[in-house]
């Protein structure tokens, strides 16, 4: 059972539920597990996928039974009029059916025209496996090894084979670039977009200056900015922007770009480990936002003197945690010391991949990945 299942089941009793997330992160499996729960409770359900032509016709002609309690619509955001269609369906049948919508793009973005869906749904974002969630037969140390080697997407993670993971990743890139983006976005030069993705893969943990990438690819900075937003909407990458509040010497810096699939990173163990921490933190704060309604942000800090801390977590605008990431250095970062003194966070943490056991040094927590990344709350 995936970590969102009890929350989705609860919210389906009140409203529609939308589940977005990266392609092949387990949304269909989660939907099938939810459907089985209904069957176990002697209630029927039906699953439709917009990618299948027969299902498209069934969706548009509303071919399901009156006693189908749960209606599941996968990838329906690819239908240009999907929002008006789902709104009308819900307004007419909300007392008869419960509705689950899943998709491999940001469903809170792809609302193409028409009336608002405000107040009619709850939105959840599903993430791949991390140290906070993985199947029970796998031990934590083995899970960490697989996350670093093949990433957290269910198929390569469960298989644990690096060669098969590379083949799977290549096919997934093709589906996203050739199918999903073609269906949803006005991007013509898919080949150069692919090169843009390859450049981003080599720049994880560093600042991404889009104008420099535009020069390398011989396109305009406006184009690279658009491409980056497209990749974010497709759940291929996410951006971590600079935190500047209450810092008089902070400067507006370019974003850092991380990949939802940790194995997408091209670089050393340090870059891949930082990406792993970024995905784990994003999963945690989005879980808390989606389930509890708080507003969280994940940022980084860098000032004019070059002092930098990898991650800042804010809750309702207030700093909760400063987090520095190191692969092997257990000495507390001087930048973490500086910013902890300036910003007074509730907790200042340095996560060290190779640390054997965590400990506290003054106000600073030196933690292993298993100390910091194994909890969603």
- State pLDDT tens for residues 192-209: 999 999 999 999 999 999
Contacts of 302 (CB under 8 A, 6+ apart): 207, 242, 250, 251, 253, 308
Q: What mean pLDDT comes out for the span 10-31? A: 95
Span 155-180, pLDDT tens digits: 999 999 999 999 999 999 989 988 88
CATH number of the domain bearing residue 17: 3.40.50.300
- What's the DSSP call for residue 255? P
pLDDT(186) > 80 = no
> What does the pLDDT read at residue 119?
87
The answer to whether the beta carbons of residues 277 and 204 sit under 8 Å apart is: no
Burial 243-282 (b: 16+ CB within 10 A, else e): bbeebeebeebbbbbbbbbbbbbebeebbbbbbbbbbbbb
Query: pTM for this one?
Result: 0.94
What number of other Cβ atoms are within 10 A of residue 330's Cβ?
13
Question: Exposed (0-12), middle (13-18) or buried (19+): which is 73, by Cβ within 10 Å?
Answer: buried
> What does the pLDDT read at residue 181?
87
Report the chain's mean pLDDT, rounded to a whole number: 92
Q: Would residue 377 count as lying in a domain?
A: no
Closest CA to 112 of 91, 76, 81: 81
Q: Please give the radius of gyration of the chain, using alpha carbons only, rounded to the nearest integer.
A: 22
> What does the pLDDT read at residue 251?
55
Rounded to whole angstroms, the Cα distance separating 7 from 291 reads 7
Beta bridge partners of 155: none
pLDDT(109) > 70 = no
Span 281-338, pLDDT tens digits: 999 999 999 999 999 999 999 988 889 999 999 999 999 999 999 999 889 999 999 9
pLDDT band at 32 (very low <50, low <70, confident <90, very high): very high
Q: Would residue 132 count as lying in a domain?
A: no
pLDDT band at 112 (very low <50, low <70, confident <90, very high): very low
Same domain, 67 and 213: no
Closest CA to 115 of 136, 138, 86, 137: 86
Question: Domain count of the chain?
Answer: 2
**Owning domain of residue 211:** 140-372
Q: Would residue 130 count as lying in a domain?
A: no
DSSP for 85-116? Answer: HHHHHHHHHTTT-EEEEEESS-TTT---SSS-
pLDDT(252) > 90 = no
Burial 298-309 (b: 16+ CB within 10 A, else e): bbbbbbeeebbb
Q: Would residue 150 count as lying in a domain?
A: yes
Same domain, 107 and 197: no
């Amino acid at each position: 059972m995936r970590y969102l299942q009890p929350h989705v089941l609860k919210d389906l009793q009140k409203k529609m539920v939308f589940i977005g997330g990266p392609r092949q992160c387990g949304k269909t499996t989660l939907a099938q597990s939810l459907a089985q729960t209904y069957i176990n409770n002697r209630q029927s359900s039906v699953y439709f996928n917009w990618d299948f032509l027969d299902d498209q016709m069934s969706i548009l002609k509303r071919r399901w039974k009156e006693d189908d309690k749960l209606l599941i619509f996968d990838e329906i955001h690819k239908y240009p009029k999907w929002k008006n269609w789902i709104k009308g369906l819900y307004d007419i049948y909300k007392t008869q059916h419960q509705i689950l919508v899943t998709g491999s793009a940001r469903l809170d973005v792809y609302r193409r025209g028409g009336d608002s869906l405000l107040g009619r749904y709850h939105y959840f974002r599903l993430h791949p496996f991390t140290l906070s969630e993985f199947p029970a037969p796998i031990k934590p140390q083995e899970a960490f090894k697989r996350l670093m080697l093949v990433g957290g997407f269910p198929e390569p993670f469960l298989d644990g084979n690096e060669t098969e993971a590379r083949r799977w990743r290549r096919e997934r890139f093709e589906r996203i670039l050739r199918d999903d983006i073609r269906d949803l976005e006005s991007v013509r030069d898919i080949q150069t977009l692919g090169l843009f993705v390859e450049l981003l893969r080599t720049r994880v943990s560093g600042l991404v200056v889009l104008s420099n990438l535009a020069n390398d690819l011989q396109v305009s900075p406006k184009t690279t900015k658009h491409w980056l937003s497209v990749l974010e909407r497709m759940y291929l990458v996410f951006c971590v922007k600079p935190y500047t509040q209450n810092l008089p010497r902070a400067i507006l810096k370019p974003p850092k770009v991380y990949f939802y699939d940790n194995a997408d990173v091209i670089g050393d163990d340090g870059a891949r480990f930082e990406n792993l921490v970024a995905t784990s933190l994003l999963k945690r704060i989005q879980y808390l936002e989606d389930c509890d309604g708080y507003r969280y942000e994940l940022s980084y800090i860098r000032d004019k003197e070059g002092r930098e801390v990898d991650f800042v977590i804010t809750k309702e605008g207030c700093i909760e945690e400063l987090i520095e990431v190191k692969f092997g250095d257990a000495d507390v970062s001087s930048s973490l010391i500086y910013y902890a003194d300036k910003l007074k966070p509730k907790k200042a943490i340095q996560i060290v991949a190779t640390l054997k056991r965590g400990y506290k040094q003054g106000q600073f927590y030196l933690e292993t990945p298993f100390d910091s990344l194994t909890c969603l709350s």
